[in-house]
Amino acid sequence: MAKWLRAYGDREGDGMVQMTFTLAILPGDRAREGAKRFAEAHGLKEPLVTTMEQCSQAHTYFVVYGHSAHQVDVDSIDVAELAAKPLAREQIEAMGKELGRKIVVVGACTGSDAHTVGIDAILNYKGFAGEKGLESYKCFDAHNLGAQVENVELAERAKALGADAILVSQVITQRNCHKENAAALIDLLQKEGVRDKFLLLLGGPRIDNKLALELGYEGGFGPGTKPSTVAAFVAEEVLRRAKGKSVDPRR
């Protein structure tokens, strides 16, 4: 039986949603009507413009509240969910102890990407959202190469360090450059015959596990991912490989 989801605005399933957008028009009655028609063109019924603020010499920022008739059947959705169990630090450290050596992880923002907030949050000691990064774990040897690292350099460092896992962060997404750059690393490692030596993970604001798998990675991590989630996934998969078991991201 289908399980339908509709937006929750003032009550469950009332279909009320909020849109935000910017139009090249200055604030005024004409602009307000334009914003309402723009929202209606996107399927909103009885739209109400709640915010209309000039944001440049020629543009206005709008927030519109309205009713959407759209709904989604959750039971019809088939996605590759990331197999990252929430584990305590002690459990992750125990897997490292069972492995008998440190797990070497190399991460970077590759290509022209200069936004290191994500990779810093996961790898650096200071961490994110109250959790310390992989540098703080006894079982990890974490190397953050920083921003604008070319795929060739990342691959060479990973090989030189004998890395178990490579973490790639892609924040810039104009013209899908994040996909092209991430896929280029896979191609490079395959050409060098070392693809299977590494657990490859991809992260960024427009990354999810489905996209990462499509690009040839073992896992994808989106916004809000905490260091412990990545640590647990890496430790589990590296230990699985050490035991001769194949990686199965969909398990």
Instruction: Report pLDDT for 248.
Output: 52
- The pLDDT tens digits of the residues spanning 136-160 come to 999 999 999 998 899 999 999 999 9
Q: By mean pLDDT, which of 58-67, 70-79, 87-96, 234-243 is the weakest?
A: 70-79
Indicate if the pLDDT at residue 200 is higher than 80.
yes
User: With 90 as the cut, is the pLDDT of residue 1 above it?
Assistant: no
Residue with tokens 């009550």: 11
State how far the Cα of 83 lies from the Cα of 242, in Å rounded to an integer: 18
| CATH domain 89-243 topology | Rossmann fold (3.40.50)
* Per-residue confidence (pLDDT) for residue 2, from 0 to 100: 81
The CATH number of the domain covering residues in 4-73: 3.30.30.60
Binned at pLDDT 50, 70 and 90, residue 172 comes out as low
pLDDT at 173: 64
Long-range contact pairs involving 151-156 (C-beta distance under 8 Å, separation at least 24): 151/110, 151/111, 151/181, 151/184, 151/185, 151/188, 152/188, 154/106, 154/108, 154/110, 154/185, 155/185, 155/188, 155/189, 155/192, 155/194
Q: Work out the pLDDT band at 83, boundaries 50, 70, 90.
A: low
The DSSP 8-state label assigned to residue 139 in this structure reads T
Domain borders along the chain are 4-73, 89-243
pLDDT at 250: 42
Distance CA 228, CA 236 (A): 12
pLDDT, tens only, 11-67: 998 999 999 999 999 999 999 999 999 999 999 999 999 999 999 999 999 999 999
pLDDT number for residue 246? 57
Q: List active site positions.
A: 126
Q: Binning pLDDT at 50, 70 and 90, where does residue 247 land? A: low
Quote the pLDDT of residue 10: 87
The residues facing 129 across adjacent strands are none
Across the chain, mean pLDDT equals 90
CA-nearest of 14, 15, 32 to 23 is 32
Over residues 175-195, the mean pLDDT reads 87
